[in-house]
């Protein structure tokens, strides 16, 4: 397990996660949070929406592959 620490609007948060995911998460957060404004909540919401959109596209692609295999 690896600890990942981040700060939002002056509040510090720590999470414990599997080491390879921790590395992935840190890199993704650096990419997603390049333009951190005074309103951290908006930044987090936009990153969440971006992540959900990526998952949505992946789900659609998986459904398409399954349909082609049937």
Show me where the domains of the chain are located.
Answer: 2-69
Q: Are 43 and 35 in contact (CB under 8 A)?
A: yes
Element (H, E) at 23: helix 19-32
Q: Does the reported pTM lie above 0.75?
A: no
The per-residue pLDDT for range 11-57, each reduced to its tens digit, is 888 999 999 999 998 888 888 777 666 577 777 877 888 888 999 99
**Entry field: residues in the chain:** 70
Distance CA 58, CA 67 (A): 14
């Amino acid at each position: 397990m690896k600890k990942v620490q981040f700060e939002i609007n002056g509040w510090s948060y720590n999470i414990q996660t599997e080491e390879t995911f921790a590395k992935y998460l840190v890199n993704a957060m650096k990419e997603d949070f390049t333009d951190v404004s005074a309103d951290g909540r908006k930044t987090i919401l936009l990153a969440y929406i971006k992540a959900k959109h990526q998952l949505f596209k992946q789900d659609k692609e998986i459904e398409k592959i399954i349909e082609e295999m049937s």
